[in-house]
Chains A and B, each alone.
Chain A
Amino acid sequence: GQNIDQPTEMTATEGAIVQINCTYQTSGFNGLFWYQQHAGEAPTFLSYNVLDGLEEKGRFSSFLSRSKGYSYLLLKELQMKDSASYLCAVRDGGDYKLSFGAGTTVTVRA
């Protein structure tokens, strides 16, 4: 089975940095994904890590440590449009399906 934990809510100020942590315990591992989801909409892909280390994509970065079962998503230079839910998802080792955490709701304040 899969157990994926992330904080429920976070609040930050426009222009600041926020780090969303995700810990996982899974029966298999073939990559970790981060998705952004605005209320009432479908999730959109942000980042993917399969090897240890940091992946940077513009204002968003994601880090993975497989030995610790840990990842974080770093959002820099926060903008109001970044207010959304951020979902951590782990891909199963065998059949490519994703298991999702409950999501972290980030609120950006002016």
Chain B
Amino acid sequence: DGGITQSPKYLFRKEGQNVTLSCEQNLNHDAMYWYRQDPGQGLRLIYYSQIVNDFQKGDIAEGYSVSREKKESFPLTVTSAQKNPTAFYLCASSQTGVLDGYTFGSGTRLTVV
């Protein structure tokens, strides 16, 4: 079955360390997205990519970095420059040019101690 996979589901890191969250999809979707969700807040867009080797900053890109070397993969690195990285991170994908919404991964809960 096609889908979008995020790993790991839970991640613990020490303050000051960089950490990379994985997102892989086999839906042949062109576009991929990273959102952050904090308690009581909606999803906020970190980065998005509509095509391989290209990506754009979202509303809260500071302290994060991404790459899109393959259509299937869109990893997110949370760097030490991110002031408050503890959150629930959601990856999503969609097909551009089609009036559909997103398919979401199951999320990664990152806790920085």
Residues of A within 8 A of B (CB): 4, 8, 30-31, 33, 35, 40-45, 48, 50, 87, 89, 91, 95-103
Contacts and interface: CB of A to CB of B under 8 A. Distances in A.
Interface in B73-108: 88, 90, 94, 96, 99-102, 104-107
Interface of B: 31, 33, 35, 40-45, 48, 50, 56, 58, 88, 90, 94, 96, 99-102, 104-107, 109
B21 to A, nearest CB: 14
Given A95-B48, A100-B42, 12 more contacts: A8-B40, A33-B101, A40-B88, A40-B107, A42-B106, A43-B104, A48-B100, A48-B101, A97-B33, A98-B102, A101-B42, A102-B42
Contact of A41 (B58, B101, B106): B106
Nearest to B106: A42
Contacts of B102: 43, 45, 98
Contact of A95 (B42, B50, B109): B50
A103 B42 CA distance: 6
Given A50-B99, A95-B50, A97-B48, A87 B104 contact: no
A96 B106 contact: no
A87 B94 CA distance: 18
Given A42-B90, A42-B106, A98 B42 contact: no
A48 B102 CA distance: 11
A98 B48 CA distance: 11
Given A31-B99, A33-B101, A43-B104, A102 B50 contact: no
